[in-house]
Amino acid sequence: MSQFRLARISLILAAIGLNAAPALMTSATAQSAPATPATSAAPTKPETVRPELYKLLDPAAVKVLIDGKKFAEVQERLTAAEAYANRTPYENYVIERMKFSLGSASGNEAMTMSSLEAVINSPSTPAVDKPEFILAMGNLQNNAKNYTKAIEWMKRYIAEGGSPSRVRASMSRAYYLNNDLATAKTEAQTHLAELEKAGTPPAEGDLRLLVAIAGKQKDWPAYTVALEKLIAAYPSQDLWADLLHRMYGKTSFNSRLLLDAYRLESTVLKQLEAETYVNMAEEAVRSGFPVEAKKAVDAGFAANVLGTGADAAKHKSLRDRVSKAAADDAKNIATGEASAAKMKDGTGLVNLGYAYVTMDEFDKGIERIEKGIAKGGLKRPEEAKLKLGMAYVKAGRKDDAIKTFETIKGNDGIGDLARYWTMWLKRPADTAAPVAAK
């Protein structure tokens, strides 16, 4: 049995009070107890252990032996106790309790499970304790990878008055590992709904399980929804990379939004692949943002993924080209003010404003984007709002960015982009995140 599983059993024992031998009462002790006053109902006779058995099962002595790992001596005592004829149900109960303690301490899984089952089925087991013992058996079966039996015991726990919420997560995992994916999904979703209703944040493992179930079922829409929930609560670079990759791969994703997608990816992920840096730079040049293209190439060189290998010469040529274009744009950007202002719609002002944002002139850029949106007549107003939201992000205006992203709608990828920007901005405060390239 692994150290992890032994640790789990120790917790189970502590929770149900089986990690210590039960307090015993000998028949001699019972006979010397004070008389119970007469009542209308007959008093319950205390269950006892014969003195000769007590010597073998003395809890204090057994505990010292188990703590000292003298398991063979404990087993000798138990074997001797089991040799006594005509044992009472209570004496059997005490023996099984001690066998459970011995089995769990020594790593004897078979003894641990058989003795716990005997305790559960003993008439001497207090009814109020039985659900906890049953739950312990379900957990032990889970640890032993006996998932069918684990499910049976957890169902029995619920049937005998146990709280379904305490076993819902374990049951869903057991169903998943037993390859009953449909039931696993139902249990996992019910568990998460119960947590949400109670205002309790889900554990990372619960959310990962739902992702794993959807992945095994190849239900990619459900996988993406589950992945989004996981990232919102427990973001990581690997999870973000998976989510963004799936966004690109959607048949509904409009290639016109590639540059916007690269902008998000370059903000969220610490490092991109060489191809992504190159593609971002090319898209930025094509869209009229050469300064942004230069920043993408510079980031690729700084990360040592551009300028090396078989394509090193191409990367250097690209850097020279975008550097010249960026310098020219920085010189001439002011000349575009008049023509942008004269346009019938606000498209020119929006694009001019975002060009200023790429040059780190955030206030000037945001002012023009806002004017362009207010002017109206935009062919793609949602994309203008996306640019405004990204400008707010770069300017450090988080609340304004979130408010803007939350107004964006669309099924061609722009809705995903806006939602993912919001998720990233609302990520847990203790999550390390890369600094957005300005």
DSSP 301-315: HHTTSSS-GGGHHHH
- Token readout for 417 is 């982009």
24 closest CA partner among 81, 73, 71: 81
CA distance 98 to 53: 13
* Averaged pLDDT for residues 382-411: 97
CATH class of 256-426: mainly alpha
Longest dimension (CA), the chain: 107
Contact 428, 233 (CB under 8 A): yes
Instruction: Judge contact between 424 and 268, C-beta under 8 A.
Output: yes
Q: Residue type for 323, please?
A: S
Q: What is the mean pLDDT of residues 317-345?
A: 93
Rounded distance between C-alpha atoms, residue 100 and residue 10, angstroms: 12
Q: What is the CATH code of the structural domain delimited by 10-14+49-208? A: 1.25.40.10
Q: Is pLDDT at 3 greater than 70 in this prediction? A: no
Ramachandran assignment for 113, one of left (phi > 0), alpha (psi -120 to 50 degrees), beta (any other): alpha
Residue 10 reports pLDDT greater than 90 = no
Residues 30-89: tens digit of each pLDDT? 333 333 333 444 444 567 889 999 999 998 899 999 999 999 999 999 999 999 999 999
The count of other CB atoms within 10 Å of the CB of residue 120 is 20
Distance CA 13, CA 133 (A): 9
Out of 16-20, 90-94, 168-172, pick the least confident. 16-20
How far is the CA of 274 from the CAs of 60, 244, 246, 292, 320, in angstroms? Answer: 68, 16, 19, 16, 17
Q: How far is CA 30 from CA 34, 46, 49, 421, in A?
A: 9, 7, 10, 72
Residue 299 has pLDDT above 60, yes or no: yes
* β-sheet bridge partners, residue 49: 26
Q: Which two tokens stand for residue 271?
A: 């490092």
Question: CA 14 to CA 33: how far, in whole Å?
Answer: 30
SS3 annotation, 164-217: HHHHHHHHHHHHHHCCCHHHHHHHHHHHHHHHHHHCCCCCHHHHHHHHHHHHHH
Contact 378, 343 (CB under 8 A): no
The distance in angstroms from the start CA to the end CA of the chain is 53
Q: Domain locations in the chain? A: 10-14+49-208, 256-426
Which amino acid is residue 58, in one-letter code?
A: D
Which DSSP helix (H) or strand (E) runs through 267? helix 258-268
Q: Which tokens hold the place of 304?
A: 């040592």
Per-residue pLDDT tens over the stretch 344-380 = 999 999 999 999 999 999 999 999 999 999 999 999 9
Q: What is the gyration radius of the CA atoms in the chain, in angstroms?
A: 34
Q: Write the CB contacts of 270 (distance below 8 Å, at least 6 apart in sequence).
A: 237, 434
Digit-coded pLDDT (tens) for 180-208: 999 999 999 999 999 999 999 999 999 99
Helices (DSSP H) in 17-50: which residue ranges? 27-32
**Which pLDDT does position 30 carry in this prediction?**
38
Handedness of CA 193, 196, 200, 204 (dihedral sign): positive
Answer yes or no: are the C-beta atoms of 248 and 257 closer than 8 Å. Answer: no
- Average pLDDT estimate for 205-218: 97
Q: Quick one: tokens of 131?
A: 């659900």
pLDDT value, residue 47: 79
Residues contacting residue 107 through CB under 8 Å, at least 6 positions apart? 1, 6
- Identical fold for domains 10-14+49-208 and 256-426, yes or no, is yes
Q: Residue count of the chain, please give it.
A: 438
Q: Answer whether residue 392 shows pLDDT above 90.
A: yes
Tokens of 13: 């024992």
Task: Show the tokens assigned to 276.
Answer: 């992504």
How does DSSP classify residue 330?
A: H
- The whole-chain average pLDDT of the chain stands at 88
**pTM beyond 0.85, yes or no:** no
CA distance 147 to 300: 49
Strongest mean pLDDT among 43-57, 255-269, 417-431: 255-269
The model's pLDDT over 95-113, given as tens digits with 9 standing for 90+, comes to 999 999 999 999 999 999 9
